[in-house]
Amino acid sequence: MPRKSADAKPTKRDAPQKRKSKTESVESVAAARLWSNQEIAALLKRIGDILAIQGENRFKIIAYQRAADVIEHSSRGVQELWAGDAANLRAIDGVGAAIADKLDELFRVGQMSYYEKIRAQLPEGLVDLLAIPGVGPKTAAKFWKEFHITTLDGLKQALENPDKNLPGLGAKTIDNLKQGFNTLGAHTTRVRLAVAFYFAQELMDGLERACGKAIEKISPAGSLRRLRPTIGDIDLLVASRSPEKILDAFVKLSQAREVLARGDTKASIVAHNGMQADLRVLEPQRWGTALQYFTGSREHNIRIRDLALKKGLSLSEWSYTRVKSGKEILCADEAQVYAAIGMPWIPPELREASGEIEAALQNKLPNLIQLSDLKGDLQCHSKWSDGSATIREMAEGARARGLKYIAITDHSQGLGVARGLDPKRTRAQWKEIDALNAEYGGAFRVLKSVEVEIRADGALDLPDDLLAGYDIVLATTHSALNQPREKITARVTRALRHPYVDIFGHPTGQLIGAREPSALDLEEVYRVALETGTLLEIDGSSERMDLNDVNARRAMERGVKLTIDSDAHNPAGFDDLYWGIAMARRAWLTKNDVLNTLEWDDLRKHLKRNKK
Ligand code: DGT
Ligand code: CA
Ligand code: CA
Ligand code: ZN
């Protein structure tokens, strides 16, 4: 179902995104004005779609898709970054000179002549056909050239009498198209990774209960397996020799509200929570190719198929086929799919066509960080502020997960909502921590820490003599997050220059689906973090995931060191370290990039407060 991903890529907003409005925003190119990242991304994506229908060079198409993707996920306003100079745009990953120049024109003139030119070469409305699951650029071109169908309405009408209007298309194709229409518009919202993850787990548990041994293998695929921060729909894959049994169980799951499609090998449901789930069932000996195909991303798969073709192999979800002899080669496991084209297996989190294929070919894939690499957690809360457990309970929760230390980072006084600590209560808390550490006798360590608020002017919310007494200090912003770019950047960098600020936590302040990232100039933050030796945090709590994948990768490339924390407010909250790890893996981070993979005695030597 290619177009779903192309049309409804993750947005920071959770608000339902109607396809139509997105299209309209592209069409209504007016005078010069401020373009949102979403609009820019939609425009670039549309250019990619048009080029694909025209059968243009794949690399050119991927370039537009990739630029769109990066811009859509960028926490910085692209037009603001531009600031009147096309050269500034080339600092964005995936934006080369050609695209930078076109965006420059768009921002200056309010219109992009290249887009106007190529869109005029296609019938109005043709690109919309790509929104139907199963309709790719080639099919859309065929509808246009062979059947003179150029709009969704036109196709819908044609499907009413396919023998007459769509001669030569098989019954199965017609069926798929009809089902594709049903799925259109069923689900336009993206959900947070954690929500989709646990829900997929529920669906898989339900299937396993109902089908038992008939399931030989089961796995999530799609964006969920790649651990994207937000998920459009859930893709599940099952290897089984009795597909009917599995599909029956799937459409009868108690979570299913509506069955969108049911075939011999696949089915789609909409659940009561509004999420769509697609299931595919296949023979175990085809597991490898199927899992590779349905994990995506689409852009990654296109490149892999190209490489295969260069080796005389045609790759589909079913198998490889030798182009010359027509001989089929089955891959029961995914590593075989990559091995056949001379590559090591690529971790799903990297499969975004953002350098992983080149790295794999040169055997230079990063050794990605894992959850078990984390030795401690540097942000969590207790009852002393807004947490719901005692320090001891938090320590035990962390210990049970194999951690060796935690920093208790209760909020500082300025944050009225969270029962912030003043200097007096802080000293009382330290006594409790000292006693607990004495009890642990080295088996575990609770660090004295604080989540100190960076005030609107960049000053910290606690006096320096107190800040000097902590083991480690995390500084964050919760208030005045809507300050304009220059102001919030100056505020944050002032705090980063403070000698007792060791970590800058949840840097952009985003709440996925609820609050946009602040206007902070992250490039400047990376620069000052590097210069001052301040660590940047990936806050793993499932609403934040901040820094996200794209930003964390950038920080790492700049040489900044990071931490991955849970921001737990109760012992179960330590599980959120997993979402932090997800962002870190998607950001290509290794153990060496993340300092809480170190024992506390080593980590403390890296803190800027201990360096002088
Ligand atoms: P989502 O659901 O929007 O979060 O993103 P994905 O990546 O899960 O996208 P989805 O559900 O439309 O498709 C799942 C995977 O299936 C996708 O990542 C790659 C694969 N796939 C689907 N259709 C095509 C296609 O036409 N060509 C290729 N190469 N791969 C496809
Ligand atoms: Ca999906
Ligand atoms: Ca899907
Ligand atoms: Zn916080």
Query: What is the per-residue pLDDT across 489-540, written as a single tens digit (0 to 9) for each?
Result: 999 999 999 999 999 999 999 999 888 899 999 999 999 999 999 999 999 9
Indicate if the pLDDT at residue 457 is higher than 50: yes
Give the span between the Cα atoms of 233 and 270, in whole angstroms: 9
Residue 120 or residue 335, greater confidence: 335
Atom of ligand 1 nearest to the CA of 228: 4
| Residue from 62, 195, 235, 351 whose mutation best tests the ligand 1 pocket (most atoms within 8 A of CB) | 235
Q: What is the pTM of this model?
A: 0.74
Biggest distance spanned by C-alpha atoms of the chain: 84
**Per-residue pLDDT, 185:** 56
Indicate if the pLDDT at residue 321 is higher than 70: yes
Whether the Cβ atoms of residue 448 and residue 433 lie closer than 8 Å to each other:
yes
Give the span between the Cα atoms of 414 and 453, in whole angstroms: 7
pLDDT band for position 42 (50/70/90)? confident
| Residue from 276, 291, 293 whose mutation best tests the ligand 1 pocket (most atoms within 8 A of CB) | 293
453 Cβ contact list (under 8 Å, min separation 6): 411, 412, 414, 415, 420, 460, 461, 475, 476, 477, 478, 479
Indicate if the pLDDT at residue 281 is higher than 60: yes
**Per-residue pLDDT, 23:** 33
Task: Tell me if 548 CB under 6 Å of ligand 1.
Answer: no
Give the span between the Cα atoms of 594 and 580, in whole angstroms: 11
The encoded tokens of residue 161 equal 């009498």
Query: What is the per-residue pLDDT across 181-237, written as a single tens digit (0 to 9) for each?
Result: 776 655 457 899 999 999 999 999 999 999 999 999 999 999 999 999 999 999 999
Whether the Cβ atoms of residue 449 and residue 424 lie closer than 8 Å to each other:
no
Task: Tell me if 220 CB under 6 Å of ligand 1.
Answer: no
The whole-chain average pLDDT of the chain stands at 90
Task: Tell me if 222 CB under 6 Å of ligand 1.
Answer: yes
| Nearest ligand to residue 541 Cα | 4
Give all domains of the chain, ordered by start, each with its CATH number.
37-119 (1.10.150.110), 127-187 (1.10.150.20), 191-282 (3.30.460.10), 288-361 (3.30.210.10), 371-610 (3.20.20.140)
Task: Tell me if 348 CB under 6 Å of ligand 1.
Answer: no
Residue 42 or residue 401, greater confidence: 401
Residue with tokens 């949102």: 36
pLDDT band for position 136 (50/70/90)? confident
User: Ligand 2 centroid vs 17 CA: distance in angstroms?
Assistant: 16
Task: Tell me if 223 CB under 6 Å of ligand 1.
Answer: yes
